[in-house]
Each structure stands twice: as structure tokens, then as C-alpha cells.
Amino acid sequence: MRHFRHLTPERRSALFHREPAEFTSEADAGTLAIALGATLYSPATRPALADDVLKQAARGVVSMVLCLEDSIADAEVPLAEDNLVRRLRELADRAPADELPLLFVRVRESGQITGLVRRLGPAAGLLSGFVLPKFTGDRSVPFLEALTEAEAACGRRLFAMPVLESPELLHRETRTEALAGIARTLEKYRERVLALRLGVTDFCAAYGLRRTPEMTAYDVQIVASVIADVVNVLGRADGTGFTVTGPVWEYFRQHERMFKPQLRRSPFLSGRAEDVRAALIEHDLDGLLREIELDRANGLLGKTCIHPSHVAPVHALSVVSHEEFCDATDVLRPERGGGGVVRSAYTNKMNEVKPHRAWAERTLLRGEVFGVAREGVSFVELLAAGVK
């Protein structure tokens, strides 16, 4: 697998100072957590599920979740399970695992984990793990125990991606205790946890809220406070934290706007870029771009996506800019291990060696997976290359 592998070698060479590295589903957890990128969700009821996975892989999708939970009705669960098993077996016959995205199944109950692995047989080798809903510490231990059992049964490493979306996390009087309980459970099963996902739609639902396309999750203060506390407790850069992914962006259709588009014209005034800007505005993705930037600023990496049009913006904004790369490499030079302050190579900021070290390490890891853009190449060119 490789990000931007759907581009021609010539196009990648023109865009990247350092091209994205190849990786497999057997890579270390740290690499895979960063590599998730835009994780595309698909209901497990889709009759053409195998075709969908192959089509999205060809378009640059690196991680997918096949959903048995909120995306389908309660009465559809048995049919969805049958369809999932049938389509994964079909995929196993049609394509080798290294040509497919990292595949996860979002379950409702712990018993589905062991049951599905048993029914899949050899096709379980296509799975990288399971998404665990409404994760709440001790009450979610059965899911993690089932994952351990399923891993032993199929002889393959399986990861958990807990979804943090329960009311206990949202309500102020129970949040501290809930986060402490989740932290204890995650630490006990650390080697099985790939990344944490945020169920912002459920958070909004608890108060009858829904953000508009012009508003990000960070504009909804109740939600923003939960994100901040989750990162505070579970996303620390001191070795105790986990990768926390960005919340879902719900919009992908044109409709009447209340506010002006948020994308400035100036970065888009070249070549095909103005067409890209128009397409992004038409599909309500200018708000998505802003939210991705705020995700990064608040310590989140990657994003839950429910539409293929969201993938290219997430991946374009995950590429490390040439300026970021220069700053990170400056901070991490061996001769600067003692600390100090240096002027950046772009002569527009000061890099403090000790305070910026964790940021620099994370940035270079992201650059390994998503690549480093050439000097002068902005996210606009990366978007233009990826938008179809």
C-alpha cells in the first residue's frame, strides 16, 4: 500500500520532495495509525461491496470500515452479516490483500467479532481489525476479549479502533471518571489499540444539535470541550497517548448557503486550481478543509469519512509541506540535542528545539507515510491531482 499510488510516477515525482513510502498491513501499529488517513465508511448491506472496495482502493483509499452498526437498520443486521461474509470471501478470490485497503468491521456486539471471523474462514485474513462502538472502559472489555479470541482463531493480528461517543463522555459531571476508566482499559490492551475515533454525531444528538456545512465541530462548544478533554487525557505525546482521529464530516451535496464560501481565491489562481475551488465549494467541502486544519491544530490525525469526495482533501492536507519538513529536520538535527532556538530555513519563525521536538517527530512520521511536498507545491496542487 502507498498513499497517492493512484497517481502516475511522473506526477508523484513532480509533486513530492519525498514520495510517500510503501507499507503493508503488517507494518507496526504506529505507522498504520498514521497511515489510516481518510477512513471511508460503507454500510455492510451494499450488494456491490466487493466492487466498492476495489474501486475505492484504485482511487487512493487506504482504510475502510464496513459497518454493521449505525449505518444500517436494526432489522438489517442478519442480512448485512451474510452480505459481509459473502463479499469478503469474494474479495479474497479476486485480489491479493496487498492491493486492498486496510479493512475493519464496525460491530454492534462483542459476539459478532468471533462469529464473523469463524464464518469468514481464510477470508478473515483480509481484516485488519474491528471498530468498537460506544467504548466506555470496563463495559467494553468483552469486545477486547473477543478480539483476542478472534485473533487466536484466525492466526492474524487484529486491531481495535474504539469509538468514543457515549453520553458519559459528553456530560460534564461524568466525563472525568469516564475518561479515567477508558484510559485504564486502553492501557491494559494497548498493543491491540490502533487508534481512537470520535463519535461527534452522537455527541450532538444528545442535545438535539446538528452543525451546518459552514460550521466545524470546533464551533459547537459542547463538542469542542469533549475533543479537548479526550486529547488531554488520551492523546498525549509522552508515550502514554494514542492516535485520535478527526470526526466525521456529514455533508456532500449542494444546497443553498447561508454564508459566503470560506475558501479564499488567492491560493487557487493557477491552472486547474480555480476549477478545484469551485468543485469544493459546490460540494460543501470548504468547511471540511477548515475542519481538517482545526483537527491537526487540536492534536487529531486522519478523519472518519462517509463519502468518497472527502478522501482527496483529507489526504492532500495530510502531506507534509516543504516548510514543515525543513522546520522538523532543523529541530531534530543531532547537534541541537542540547536545545536552543534557531531561525527557520524559511526565515519566518523561530524553532525552539526542546518544545518543538515532539511536533517535529510526529511531522516526520507523517511525512514518511504521506510524503513531503516539493518546495512551492501547496495543498491546492495536491487536491487538483487527487480530485476526480
* pLDDT score recorded for residue 257: 45
> Which of the 8 DSSP states describes residue 269?
-
* pLDDT score recorded for residue 364: 97
Categorize the per-residue pLDDT at 213 as very low, low, confident or very high, splitting at 50, 70 and 90.
Answer: confident
Provide the pairing of β-strand 303-305 with 246-249. parallel
- The residue that leads in pLDDT, 337 or 190, is 190
* Distance between CA atoms of residues 159 and 122, nearest Å: 18
Task: Decide if 377 is inside a domain.
Answer: no
* pLDDT score recorded for residue 246: 97
Residue 245: name the closest of 253, 234, 255 by CA: 234
The mean pLDDT of 41-63, rounded to a whole number, is 96
Sign (positive or negative) of CA dihedral 278, 283, 289, 291: positive
- The residue that leads in pLDDT, 319 or 214, is 319
Residue 263: pLDDT over 90: no
Task: Decide if 197 is inside a domain.
Answer: yes
* pLDDT score recorded for residue 259: 47
**Helix crossing, 172-188 with 221-234: angle to 10°?**
30
Task: Decide if 259 is inside a domain.
Answer: yes
Instruction: Map grid coordinates 511531522 to a residue.
Output: 363
* pLDDT score recorded for residue 330: 93
Report pTM.
0.91
Q: How many CB atoms lie within 10 A of CB 72?
A: 18
Share of the chain above pLDDT 70, in %: 91
Residue 277: pLDDT over 60: no
* pLDDT score recorded for residue 387: 59
Task: Decide if 111 is inside a domain.
Answer: yes
Task: Decide if 206 is inside a domain.
Answer: yes
- The residue that leads in pLDDT, 99 or 301, is 301
Q: Give the chain's mean pLDDT.
A: 91
202 is in an annotated binding site: yes
Task: Decide if 330 is inside a domain.
Answer: no
Which tens digits make up the pLDDT trace of 294-349? 999 999 999 999 999 999 999 999 999 999 999 999 999 988 777 889 888 888 99
Q: Which amino acid is at 55?
A: K
* pLDDT score recorded for residue 144: 97
Rounded to a whole number, what is the distance in angstroms from the first to the last CA of the chain?
A: 20
The mean pLDDT of 78-87, rounded to a whole number, is 98
Q: Which amino acid is at 202?
A: D
Categorize the per-residue pLDDT at 269 as very low, low, confident or very high, splitting at 50, 70 and 90.
Answer: low
* pLDDT score recorded for residue 256: 46
Residue 208: pLDDT over 80: yes
Task: Decide if 359 is inside a domain.
Answer: no
Range of the domain at 78: 23-319
Q: Which helix (H) or strand (E) holds 290?
A: helix 286-297
Categorize the per-residue pLDDT at 97 as very low, low, confident or very high, splitting at 50, 70 and 90.
Answer: confident
Looking at the 3D structure of the chain, how many domains does it have? Answer: 1
The mean pLDDT of 146-171, rounded to a whole number, is 96
Query: The domain that contains 144 carries what CATH number?
Result: 3.20.20.60
Residue 199: name the closest of 283, 253, 105, 136 by CA: 136
* Distance between CA atoms of residues 228 and 209, nearest Å: 19
Residue 22: name the closest of 9, 8, 3, 49 by CA: 3
Task: Decide if 285 is inside a domain.
Answer: yes
The mean pLDDT of 188-201, rounded to a whole number, is 96
Categorize the per-residue pLDDT at 267 as very low, low, confident or very high, splitting at 50, 70 and 90.
Answer: low
* pLDDT score recorded for residue 354: 92
* Distance between CA atoms of residues 360 and 378, nearest Å: 20
**Lowest-confidence segment of 43-57, 189-203, 269-283 by average pLDDT:** 269-283
- The grid cell for 302 is 486522519
* pLDDT score recorded for residue 384: 85
Indicate the burial class of 255 (C-beta count within 10 angstroms; 0-12, 13-18, 19 or more). Answer: exposed
* Distance between CA atoms of residues 108 and 53, nearest Å: 22
The mean pLDDT of 135-147, rounded to a whole number, is 94
> Which of the 8 DSSP states describes residue 161?
E
* pLDDT score recorded for residue 63: 98
Categorize the per-residue pLDDT at 276 as very low, low, confident or very high, splitting at 50, 70 and 90.
Answer: low
